Amino acid sequence: MGIGAEVTRNSDQLPCLTQWKMMGQGEYILGLEPGNCYPLGRAQEIKNRRMDLLQAFEEKSIALSVELYDL
């Protein structure tokens, strides 16, 4: 297709990177999702102590960069 992409993240802020794909007939979709936990469900992630919880009105900034290229 002649295109490329680069996702850059701070792994201290977003330690998890989930890849998923859907390969339907005539279709192919790839998802890359940086996050602060895995998509196992809120209860499981809290139990495993992998999910950052913010208090009411608390804020957190993260850095994420996505670059697209013509090859």
What are the sequence ranges of the domains in the chain?
3-52+62-70
Q: Predicted confidence band at 34 (pLDDT cuts at 50, 70, 90)?
A: confident
Q: Predicted confidence band at 6 (pLDDT cuts at 50, 70, 90)?
A: very high
DSSP for the chain, please give it: --EEEEEEE-TTT--EEEEEEE--TT--EEEEEEESS-SS-HHHHHHTT----PPTT------EEEEEEE-
Residue 35 pLDDT: 86
Residue 39 pLDDT: 85
pLDDT, tens only, 12-27: 888 888 998 998 888 8
pLDDT, greater one: 50 or 65 = 65
